[in-house]
Structure 1
Amino acid sequence: MTYELVELKDMMVAGLSARTNNYAPDMGNVIGGLWAQFMGAYSSVLYKANEKTLGIYTEYEGRETEDYSVLAACEVKKTEGQPDGITIKTIPAGTYAKFTAEGEGKEAVAKVWQNLWNMDLSRSFVCDFEEYEKTEEGRCRIHIYIGLKN
């Protein structure tokens, strides 16, 4: 599976968060429920930088097999004045491996992650994220950014 190395600057995000791990029996429900809740709250997030939505994985207790925080969010230009209950985070600057998938969001992302777990990437386990955008054809283009050790 191919990817490109990219250098990203800090990115401020606002959204909703939860805690889970990849082996929790309710992981799918936690993440799916978080997205459903976020889509209902999307219009209340202020100062959006663009129309993309982000799935962010951070605060890892170790590797991908341990607990982490997941956020359904969007990039914002400023964080002040966000409504109660909105989580504010910064995606840290650094080197990321950028993968691209197109198609039905959930299935396309699952396929990329399945392949990622079998790759020998020098992951930092600080922050990884998915960036969702609609294409002109009404499909979804997903960029998956995996934080790498420097």
Structure 2
Amino acid sequence: MTPVTPTLQTIDAFQIIGLSVRTDNASEFNSSTAKLPTLWQQLHQQPWVKATHDGIYGVYSDYESDVNGAYTVTAGLALSDNPSPDPSLGVITVPGGPYLVFTSQGTMPEAIINAWQSVWAYFSSNTEYRRTYRVDFEHYLGPLTCAVYIGVHADQTP
């Protein structure tokens, strides 16, 4: 793993429309129970998803507790990028506020795995930021670049 040094960014709220699944990390670390590979495969089969992989999001929400609890993942596009959304799809709002951003480059899924490993390593040590466990998200900026945005408490930002 190549460690990723995070940067602090404040973002505006936006909405994502897409497909959702409820899971947890224990299930995702076991190939026989992992749900996320199927979710991403289903997303890429949707006619409304651009073939270039630009601007695709994975939003983590509805955290049961922390890194050990269940959560919901919504894989999709920014609502503004999908002019005629399918009413059967889920919509989630990513709240504005401070996020630590872990950017990674390389082939997928290795690059996104590297970013998440950096997130877990960063927050396992004493850090100046605490996760909110409200909403975190992945942003795929192209076939070889991704970023993981981790929501942090506003009272800890400089």
TM range (shorter): 0.7 to 0.9
- Partner residue, 1:132: 140
Amino acid at match of 2:41: A
TM, length-normalised to structure 1: 0.84
- Partner residue, 1:117: 120
CA contact (8 A) 2:108 2:144 kept: yes
Provide Cα deviations, 1:64-113, integer angstroms capped at 9, x if missing partner. 11000011111122888521421111111110001110111211111221
- Partner residue, 1:37: 42
- Partner residue, 1:89: 92
Distance of 2:32 and 2:79 partners within structure 1 = 27
Amino acid at match of 2:145: R
Amino acid at match of 1:113: W
SS of 1:38's partner is helix
Percent identical among aligned pairs is: 27
SS of 1:32's partner is helix
CA contact (8 A) 1:12 1:79 kept: no
Equivalent residues, number: 142
List, as ranges, runs of 4+ consecutive aligned residues in structure 1 with deviation greater than 3 Å. 25-29, 78-81
Distance of 1:39 and 1:28 partners within structure 2 = 20
CA RMSD of aligned residues (A): 2.4
Distance of 1:27 and 1:52 partners within structure 2 = 29
TM, length-normalised to structure 2: 0.80
In structure 1, which of residues 58, 63, 73 is the aligned counterpart of residue 76 of structure 2?
73
